[in-house]
A and B are shown apart, each in its own frame.
Chain A
Amino acid sequence: MKLRRLLAVSRKEIVQVLRDSRSLLIVLLMPLMLMTVLGYGVNLDTKHIKVWAFDREGSPASQDLLRRFQASIYFDLVRSASDYRTLTDALDDGRCQLAIIVPHDFSARLHDGRVVTIQALVDGSDSNTAQLAIGYAQGVLSGYGSAVQAEFIRASGGPAIMPALSVEARTWFNEELESKNFIVPGVAAVVMAVVGTLLTSLTIAREWERGTMEQLISTPVTALEIILGKLVPYFALGMFDTAVCAAIAVFWFEVPFRGELATLVIGSGLFMTVILGLGFWISVLTKNQLAASQIGLVAAFLPSMLLSGFTFPIEQMPLGVQTFTYLVAARYYVVILKSVFLRGTGIGALAWPALALSIYTLIIVALARRSFHKSLE
């Protein structure tokens, strides 16, 4: 391998990248856009759930219960309905997400010690919000139940003491449990997946389509020189984007950064190489830009988004899928990112993901090189 040829390829590639101002602009704005969208848009803390109440009894007790719903930060008590049909209609067209139905014999049952059932109709089409809504509703009911029970015991002359449990939760690494701290560090992985795979997957395919590849392979340049040479500008772009992401995360979103910068740089560099190699391989195989973009989307971008543990926790996925995620390079990078931002662990504890990424790098570059034939067939 001759360094000179490699540098010649790099130089040409850099000139081409810099000269394509539209793509360049997009690539530079990508971290900003993704950070904004994911940092602000992605919000798993659900509030303002639209609640309708159907109070069949209308007693002070039931009103009290409904007031508690009103008081909860999670619920917006929007309307009171006077019949069942109105409720179901509202559920159908989305004006109502949770309907609370208080039975007509609410107070009586309470008084007699019979079980009182509050029906909660919840819009299951948004299962996540539904899940959370039910949880919060149960919380409200719990509070109400304890209060009523305590009152009852006191009124019956029972012991004034009230045993209770208080849960002191301490969260490590992400004290306020803000979802932004959870999401934002991982965005760098997504940005890299975009810049890395998607753009490199087009570069070799494009030369095939335009015919410049035929000219190129008639020269002494080797497959490895072409691959590594083209890697350079995209590597630089990717690292730049990562730096921008990190800066935005820390200074704008105020995500804590507890680890070492060196760890971030090394981890990013490794992941960047893997993802670029993947892009090249796709490009080498498809020789067609449209096909390459589609495959790049599915093979690189989606797994980085969905299977890396970036948004959806891997432990909650079906076991088969969990095993599959070991193949997803982004998974290891997300671990490194979260550790560097939130946990503050040093490179030592990250030996395992770093090693995985290194092995991945070697394999993928070897694959790309093997698949690249200096011939027209």
Chain B
Amino acid sequence: MLERLRQMLTKEFIHLFRDKRMRFSLVVPPLLQMLIFGYAATYEVKRISTAVLDFDHSQESREFLDRFRACNRFEIREIVHQQSEIPALIDHRRVVLVLQIQPGFAGLLRKGQTAPVQAVLDGTDSNTSLIAIGYINQIAARYAQDYQLEHAERLRPSLAHFAPRIQLEERPWYNPNLESRWFFVPGVIGTLLLTTVIMLTAFAVVREREIGTLEQLMVTPIRPAELIIGKTMPFMLIGLGDVFLVTMLGVLWFQVPFRGNPLVLLLGTILFLLSALGIGLLISTACTTQQQAFSITFFCVTPAIMLGGFGFPIASMPKMLQWFTYLDPLRFYLVVLRSAFLKGAGLSVLWPELLALTILGTSALIIATLRFHKTLD
């Protein structure tokens, strides 16, 4: 039996590595995916293109607007003088924000009243708009507070010494500069692995069915279990290889730290791969052509990725979707990945996730094997 297994594995590897195109597509796409994600995926809002319109021309308005200039998140691109210029700027996407100060701004402040500030935002990118509004509010609140204090000081100089000052000292744990890359890169490893392994596994079986060689195989003394192991083992190994490659890229190129125990990551990866292989096998029993395999894989993998906590927090999703994610092995693997890279967490912390992965993995493989058995007969 071992001999037959060895032969099957050799055959699978020959299939995969002999064709130059295959070799290419096993190595290059994962690396490219990593690169694209690493560079494109960002939630940081670093540049908010802004235009300012100051009708007041007072010292207060200038000081206020200067705070935006000083804040390197706002990029003041235009200074306009007429309100009629605004629509053109936004329509042609020259700026996403226009700050407008009406005449009488300083006057209201001096009287100790509330002075309005208008902000016009391009809502087509709601994320940037939300964050921009947040920053604007912060700067405005700060300015008001300072102004209030100054104002009070002028009347009662002694107040200055005793005015309360509260500040927030943010201490980001694990990711001091809050680089979103450090958040995404470990995640990409998970999504990459899921997509690649499921697709390869499903394709491997279906390809033989499509070309007709599966029938040939089944006539030999090979047993179903051997066939299954023979079809999945190579992809377990390739999956591990890909993880290694992409991790190296993440650590060496993107300089994401790896603080955890590689063995824990290895264990988590193997358990995760069990699920991926099982799902791939299951898909292969449901289709006869490679095209179908591809479509179904894609159809299943996309929700798994989107809802798995890869880019968007699970806690913000509707309750029903959240329950659904408990079936998603990626959800747990992502936790393991991020912990392994950034938190340096060990088994004591990750055991619930590893347990979940084990349960999902073994269930997937069992179901897949049973179905596979049936289709072989």
Q: State the CA gap A144–B342 with chains docked (Å).
A: 33
Task: List A contacts of B210 (CB < 8 A).
Answer: 209-210
A218 interface hit (Cβ, 8 Å)? no
| Residues of B contacting A312 in the complex (Cβ-Cβ under 8 angstroms) | 40-43
CB <8 Å contact, B42 and A135: no
The interface residues of chain A lying within 8 Å CB-to-CB of B287 are 22
Question: Do the beta carbons of B131 and A343 come within 8 Å of each other?
Answer: no
With a cutoff of 8 Å between Cβ atoms, the chain B residues found around residue A297 in the complex are 29, 33, 195
A29 pairs with B162, CB closer than 8 A? no
Q: Judge whether B116 and A168 touch: CB under 8 Å.
A: yes
Q: Do A295 and B291 touch (CB < 8 A)?
A: no
| Chain A positions within 8 Å of B121 at CB level | 169-172
Q: Which of B33, B42, B117, B291 has the most CB of A within 10 A?
A: B291
B47 within 8 A of A: yes
Known: A125-B175, A131-B178. A302 touches B36 (CB 8 A): yes
Flag whether A33 is at the interface (Cβ < 8 A). Answer: yes
A217 to B122, CA, bound (A): 53
| Residues 304-347 (chain A) with a chain B CB within 8 angstroms | 306-307, 311-313, 315-318, 320-321, 338, 342-343, 345
Give B37's nearest chain A residue, CB to CB: A306
In the complex, the answer to whether A124 meets B182 with C-beta atoms within 8 Å is: yes
| A window 111-146: CB within 8 A of B | 111-132, 134-139, 141-146
**Interface status of B290 (Cβ within 8 A of chain A):** yes
Interchain Cβ contacts within 8 Å, total number? 407
Taking CB as reference atom, which chain B residue is nearest A17?
B291
Query: A244-301: which have CB < 8 Å to B?
Result: 286-291, 293-295, 297-298
B171 interface neighbour in A120, A165, A173, A210, Cβ under 8 Å: A120
Quick one: closest A residue to B317, CB to CB? A41
B49 within 8 A of A: yes
Given contacts A37-B307, A316-B47, contact A142 B130 (CB under 8 A): no
Tell me the nearest residue of chain B to A116, going by C-beta.
B166
| Chain B 289-332 near chain A by CB (<8 Å), digits 1 or 0 | 11110111011001100110001110111100100000000000
A158-B156, A166-B117 given; A121·B166 CB < 8 A: no
Q: Is B262 an interface residue (CB 8 A)?
A: no
The interface bits of chain B over 117-157 (1 if a CB of A lies within 8 angstroms of the residue's CB, else 0) are 11111111111111101111110111111011101100110
Q: Is the CB of A33 within 8 A of B303?
A: yes
Interface size on B, residues (CB 8 A): 131
Known contacts A124-B178, A165-B114; is A119 also within 8 Å of B316 by CB? no
Asked whether B24 lies within 8 Å of A291 as measured between CB atoms, the reply is yes
Residue numbers in B under 8 Å from A224 (CB-CB): none
User: Is the CB–CB distance between B117 and A165 below 8 Å?
Assistant: yes
Query: A residues within 8 Å of B by Cβ?
Result: 20, 22-23, 26-27, 29-30, 33-34, 36-38, 40-48, 88, 91-94, 110-132, 134-139, 141-146, 148-150, 152-153, 156-175, 177-179, 181-182, 194, 198-199, 202-203, 206, 209-210, 286-291, 293-295, 297-298, 302-303, 306-307, 311-313, 315-318, 320-321, 338, 342-343, 345, 349
- Listed A/B pairs (7) with beta-carbon separation below 8 Å: A41-B303, A124-B174, A153-B152, A165-B114, A291-B22, A298-B29, A320-B39
Q: Which residues of B contact A (CB under 8 A)?
A: 19, 21-22, 24-26, 28-29, 32-33, 36-37, 39-47, 49, 64, 90-91, 96, 108-131, 133-138, 140-145, 147-149, 151-152, 155-156, 159, 161-176, 178-180, 182-183, 195-196, 199-200, 203, 207, 210-211, 286-292, 294-296, 298-299, 302-303, 306-307, 311-313, 315-318, 321, 335, 338-339, 341-343, 345, 349
